[in-house]
Amino acid sequence: MPSRRTFLSTTLAAGAAVALPATASAADRLCRRVPKESISIQLYTLRSIMGDDPEPVLSALADIGYRKVELAGTYGRGAAEFAAVLRRCGLRATSGHVGIDGDLDRVIADARTLGHKYVVVPWVNYATLAEWRAFTMRLEAAGEELRRAGLSLGYHNHAHEFVPVEGIRPFDVITAGTTRRNVHLEVDLYWAVTGGVDPVEVYRAHFPRVRQFHVKDRAADGSFADPGTGTIDFARIFRAANVAEYIVENDQPRDALATARIGYDYLVDLRF
């Protein structure tokens, strides 16, 4: 992750780019790109076609160009078995969605076996502020334990975290009640926009805690769209941010492998 000095340098560079002479071409101004090694895909996107044998799907992802994936389960296989499948396909599961209220030792052991760097809580929802605060305490404690094991624990947002509960947004409870040392943020760009917040402002307010983006697009009617085909201005967001992983996702794809290819090609071709 970038240091604060790197962040400031990037900001100054962006300002310099804006100040280029009017004769500068668009290509001169749009000089950044998403590194291929930072592109991943959330396998939840492909859940409908994994079936009993995920290896052909994983192999197809590698053929598209992916080298990283984010897990949402291991499709009935143990961690070691699934890790072997990934290796055969030339993929690494650098991130995985898990819960923290079960056997945390097992979570850590499986994450190490699978080669995770990031372990992310994908979903919680509570009706009261007291429950959100209690969860936040558990999140911080789990994050400390995972950090000591060499892993980074993250939290993945939906839209409801930006809706006040008893006058306070749950997202603010989580970010205020955890430390950046123990809990990072995986910002789902679709859900942030749906929740009525600007992902750029979220990034700036919590730099350098935002380490992962879910690159999920939003159609004009609010439904899910493949990256680059909807209304979210990813170039604007990426110009203002620098994260470790850009994770392609579509919760309801019409054609999962087509989504994977569209998402990968979009991120590779994007200039900002």
Query: For the domain 33-269, what is the CATH code?
Result: 3.20.20.150
The predicted pLDDT at position 28 comes to: 52
pLDDT of residue 9: 44
Tokens 């990934």, located at residue: 86
Residue 29: predicted pLDDT: 64
Domain boundaries, the chain: 33-269
Whole-number Å distance between alpha carbons of 65 and 161: 34
Structure tokens at 25: 């071409």
Distance of CA 264 to the CA centre of its chain: 14
Asked if residue 208 has a cis previous peptide bond (ω within 30° of 0), the answer is yes
pLDDT digits (tens, 9 = 90+) for 1-56: 444 444 434 443 443 333 333 444 555 567 899 999 999 999 999 999 999 999 99
pLDDT in tens, 60-115: 999 999 999 999 999 999 999 999 999 999 999 999 999 999 999 999 999 999 99
181-220 burial code (b ≥16 CB/10 A, e <16): ebbbbbbbbbbbbbbebebbebbeeebbbbbbbbbbbbee
Q: Name the strands in the sheet holding 39-41, side by side, starting at the edge strand that comes first in the sequence.
A: 39-41, 245-248, 210-215, 183-188, 152-156, 118-121, 92-97, 68-71
pLDDT of 25: 53
**CB distance 214 to 8 below 8 Å:** no
The predicted pLDDT at position 18 comes to 33
pTM over 0.85: yes
What are the backbone dihedrals phi and psi of residue 162, each rounded to the nearest 5 degrees, phi first? -100, 5
